[in-house]
């Protein structure tokens, strides 16, 4: 994989895995709550650590499976995460019996830690899927996820406070899932050629 292709892939993964962060920023912004910068740092420091954990797990496993198997494993993991985004946003609310509304308040450091872990569960799998087929991208992927996580919360908060909140908020999970699925296919197509 060339450095340009690795850079583009890492950024797509960073963006795709952080649309839930954008949704979080929008949720706070739509209630006119400014998401504190330092809480955003806490959330994405946790995101960086979890992405790195997943990436190292992918690097270890890459020593035991072939390059082609690793590419397909990465493809399957990323597509499953993309499909999970769609399920959790569009299907689960329709089939779930409980639909409690959760009140939103301005986050502090405790909420930042809880939110960091809540938004980072997928980072382990994303980091794994991104590096299992190319172990050299461990740090690039983890840094991309952390940087884009910060940007997406900030952007979502700005948009949430502004006019575009409803439009992007409604489609953020769809876009996130689609990006991750496309990145999953890219993992295989990039190595079949």
Helix (H, G, I), strand (E, B) or coil at 108: coil
The answer to whether 32 touches 161, Cβ cutoff 8 Å, is yes
pTM of the full structure: 0.64
Mean pLDDT of all residues in 59-86: 73
Instruction: Say yes or no to pLDDT of 104 above 60.
Output: no
Of 56-65, 82-91, 130-139, the least confident: 130-139
pLDDT band of residue 118 (cuts 50, 70, 90) is: confident
Q: Angle 85-116-111 (CA atoms, 0-180°, nearest 5)?
A: 120
Using the CB atoms, write b or e for 25-61: b if 16+ within 10 Å: bbbbbbeebebbeebbebbbbbbbbbbbbbbbbbbeb
The closest of 13, 14, 18, 10 to 119, measured between CA atoms, is: 18
Which one is predicted more confidently, 72 or 104? 72
The share of the chain scoring above pLDDT 90, in percent, equals 5
The answer to whether 183 touches 78, Cβ cutoff 8 Å, is yes
The share of the chain scoring above pLDDT 70, in percent, equals 69
CA distance linking residue 125 with residue 137, whole number of Å: 15
CA distance linking residue 77 with residue 84, whole number of Å: 10
Mean pLDDT of all residues in 99-106: 51
Domain spans, the chain: 3-90+106-192
The answer to whether 89 touches 174, Cβ cutoff 8 Å, is yes
Mean pLDDT of all residues in 63-70: 68
């Amino acid at each position: 994989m060339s450095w340009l292709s690795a850079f583009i892939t890492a950024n797509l993964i960073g963006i795709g895995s952080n649309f839930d962060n954008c949704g979080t920023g929008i949720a706070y912004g739509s209630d006119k709550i400014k998401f504190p910068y330092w809480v955003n740092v806490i959330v994405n420091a946790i995101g960086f650590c979890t992405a790195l954990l997943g990436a190292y797990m992918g690097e270890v496993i890459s020593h035991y499976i072939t390059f082609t198997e690793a590419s397909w494993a990465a493809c399957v993991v990323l597509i499953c995460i993309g499909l999970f985004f769609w399920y959790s946003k569009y299907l689960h609310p329709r089939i779930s019996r409980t639909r409690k509304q959760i009140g939103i308040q301005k986050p502090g450091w405790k909420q930042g830690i809880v939110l960091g872990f809540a938004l980072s569960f997928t980072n382990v799998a994303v980091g794994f899927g991104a590096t299992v087929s190319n172990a050299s991208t461990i740090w690039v992927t983890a840094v991309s996820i952390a940087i884009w996580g910060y940007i997406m919360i900030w952007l979502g908060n700005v948009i949430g406070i502004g006019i575009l909140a409803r439009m992007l908020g409604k489609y953020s999970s769809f876009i996130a899932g689609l990006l991750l699925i496309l990145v999953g296919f890219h993992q295989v197509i990039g190595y079949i050629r």
